[in-house]
Amino acid sequence: MERLQKILAQAGIASRRKCEELILAGKVQLNGETVTELGTKADPAVDEITVNGKSVGVEKKLYILFNKPKGVITSASDDKGRKIVTDYLKGVNERVFPVGRLDYDTEGLLLLTNDGDFAYLLTHPKHHVPKTYLATVKGVPHGTLLDKLKQGVMLEDGMTAPAELDYYDIEPGEKQSTIRITIHEGRNRQVRRMFESINHPVTRLKRISFGELHLGNMKRGLYRHLDKQEVEELMRNAKKADKPRKQIKSDT
Ligand code: URA
């Protein structure tokens, strides 16, 4: 949050002194309401600021929660002509990019934004943002194998950090099972490689939570905008988390 006169000056409206005069003269609106208090603070990322009814041209920051279907590329373009995530964002005119990535065959919660600071904060490994997946695997990995994954396994790019795992569903006949797994890292194909390392390959992978956000009953291929509280909570928690934190459980 910054003082309005500072935001206006930074947006190139006028000098800070002149911007104060504009506010005092009742020429500035914040989210549609005229403000005349010089102490008023705003967040240019989420608040709509206008001078004489005209937007001050601060790019509106967008934060989108998308339920990515399987068979879609997490990228801004694809030279093989496959479907990309932004094909699904009808009605979003700003250029947004994914916060981290999901494999082509992975479905579920993917965030998109045009806010580079937000994306950096949530994907930086030192912030340990928890990500929860439902991994359907071949067979049923028994307890000691799950314990191995909980403690950390050696992959070709090093040991994995401690993870949380529990059984979510075991198919009658035990041909396959679904495990809920929460990891605090974001290495390439990490969940698939973790299960490969215990010889229970993943046949279906769905991300159901990212930080405090849950996919809930969002339909596949649809999206929604995050509200200000959700964005602030994600950023606040990412900033304070410099050691792994427990994922809030959800039955999604
Ligand atoms: N782990 C994977 O293996 N794939 C993903 O898409 C995400 C996490």
pLDDT of residue 204: 98
Q: How far is CA 62 from the centre of its chain?
A: 12
Q: At 71, which helix (H) or strand (E)?
A: none
Q: At 114, which helix (H) or strand (E)?
A: none
Q: Collapse the DSSP code of 177 into the 3-class scheme (helix H, G, I; strand E, B; otherwise coil) and give the result.
A: strand
Mean pLDDT, the chain, rounded, equals 90
pLDDT tens, residue by residue, 203-219: 999 999 999 999 999 99
Contact 13, 56 (CB under 8 A): yes
CB proximity list for 97: less than 8 A, separation 6 or greater: 76, 112, 113, 114, 119
* Beta carbon of 135 within 6 Å of any ligand 1 atom: no
With a pLDDT cut of 70, the percent of the chain lying above it is 94
Map out the domains of the chain with their CATH numbers: 2-55 (3.10.290.10), 63-123+215-238 (3.30.70.580), 126-213 (3.30.70.1560)
Q: What is the DSSP string of 50-75?
A: EETTEE--PPPP-EEEEEEPSS-BSS
Q: Long-range contact list for 81-86, CB < 8 A, 24+ apart?
A: 85/110, 85/112, 86/112
pLDDT of residue 70: 97
| Cα–ligand 1 centroid distance for 71 (angstroms) | 13
| Cα–ligand 1 centroid distance for 101 (angstroms) | 8
pLDDT of residue 95: 82
pLDDT tens, residue by residue, 113-147: 988 889 989 998 888 899 999 999 999 999 899 99
* Strand-strand pairing, 106-113 and 202-210: parallel
Catalytic-labelled residue, pool 43, 47, 103, 105: 103
Q: How far is CA 234 from the centre of its chain?
A: 8
pLDDT of residue 77: 80
What does residue 106 show for φ and ψ, rounded to 5 degrees?
-95, 140
Residue 15 has pLDDT above 80, yes or no: no
